[in-house]
Amino acid sequence: MRSAEHPSDESSSRLSHVDDAGHARMVDVSQKADTPREAIARARVVMQPSTLTLIQEGGTPKGDVLAVAQVAGVMAAKRAHELIPMCHPLSLTYIGITFAPHLPEAEGEPAAIEISAIARTVGKTGAEMEALVAVAIAGLTIYDMCKAVDRSMRLEAVRLVHKSGGKSGIWSGK
């Protein structure tokens, strides 16, 4: 029988944060090697075209939306372990956040801002949660700063698109 303190290297289909008795646990990474790790996450904030125009022209009542969202995303990535109970605290070596506005191609379609975050560290565990938290909080910051002019906005498609480093190597999705 495997103990919660010393998990075996069983199939990756097993939930790593749940012990044999079904209890939540923090994974013991003390025996893992420090390796360079990178994670890329994306999200999208969908909005009215007029809202995107306001953001691009700096016309929102609360100021530069994307600058504030970028700082919020960086701050959030550094605090992911405080928000997610079984997440290890990481010493991030880099966190970068970018925004790509998309105007609608046809009349009546919504506009959107695609958010990307890259999180890097050298350590025993990856930076996926930090990248995911960064895009989510950056998106929520955009919503918060623009909700007075567009309550129909929505944050969607929060996802991991790439990770590298560690024993499992490289993974890429969409």
Catalytic residues: 144
Distances (CA, A) of 82 to 39, 120, 141: 19, 18, 18
Distances (CA, A) of 85 to 25, 159, 174: 9, 19, 27
| Residue 170 and residue 116 in contact, taking contact as beta carbons nearer than 8 Å | no
| Residue 65 and residue 144 in contact, taking contact as beta carbons nearer than 8 Å | no
In whole angstroms, what is the distance from residue 86 CA to residue 77 CA?
A: 15
Backbone angles phi, psi at 89, to 5 degrees: -70, 135
In whole angstroms, what is the distance from residue 6 CA to residue 107 CA?
A: 58
In whole angstroms, what is the distance from residue 90 CA to residue 36 CA?
A: 12
